[in-house]
Amino acid sequence: MISTYNHRFLLVTHLRGMTFQPEQLRERLNSILDRQLDSRCQLLFCDEGHTEMGWLIPSDWDYRTLTACLCRLAQPDCSALQALGLRLERFELFELFEQYETQGLGAAWRWCRNVLGRIRLRLLM
């Protein structure tokens, strides 16, 4: 049976405390996200330091449910991440609508980065 999902999300994770090789880190974090979010997460991008990673999350859960689950992962006492010596410093979650379907994921990611940039500018002012 092929799973179909009602929602697609872009998750950007910001990590601290990594002691793994990049490939091991991606695999282990992917496994944790898959399990915790009850989804099949797909890594889309990663920065050079492997502290910021972007994930595509297809899910039947709504935005509020995913955010609550991610907030639990971001707690300092999260055992799943503590076992790896990691801490989820912060995250951004964006629901992808028809923009993803019609313009592709690259366009959706650029749009999200622009929104983040504007938010950061406003916080600095």
Torsion of CA 23, 27, 30, 36, to 10 degrees: -140
Say if 19 falls within a structural domain. Answer: yes
| Tens-place pLDDT, residues 73-125 | 889 888 888 888 888 888 888 887 654 455 566 666 777 777 777 766 566 65
Say if 12 falls within a structural domain. Answer: yes
Contact 11, 71 (CB under 8 A): no
CA 49 centroid distance within chain? 16
Q: In the chain, what are the helix, strand and coil shares in percent, each to the nearest 5?
A: 45, 25, 30
Q: Could you tell me the residue range of the domain that residue 86 belongs to?
A: 7-124
Domain CATH code at residue 118: 3.30.70
Say if 52 falls within a structural domain. Answer: yes
Q: β-strand 42-46 against 52-59: which pairing, if any?
A: antiparallel
Total domains, the chain: 1
Say if 2 falls within a structural domain. Answer: no
| Tens-place pLDDT, residues 94-108 | 887 654 455 566 666
- How far apart are the C-alpha atoms of 51 and 19, rounded to whole Å? 11
Say if 1 falls within a structural domain. Answer: no
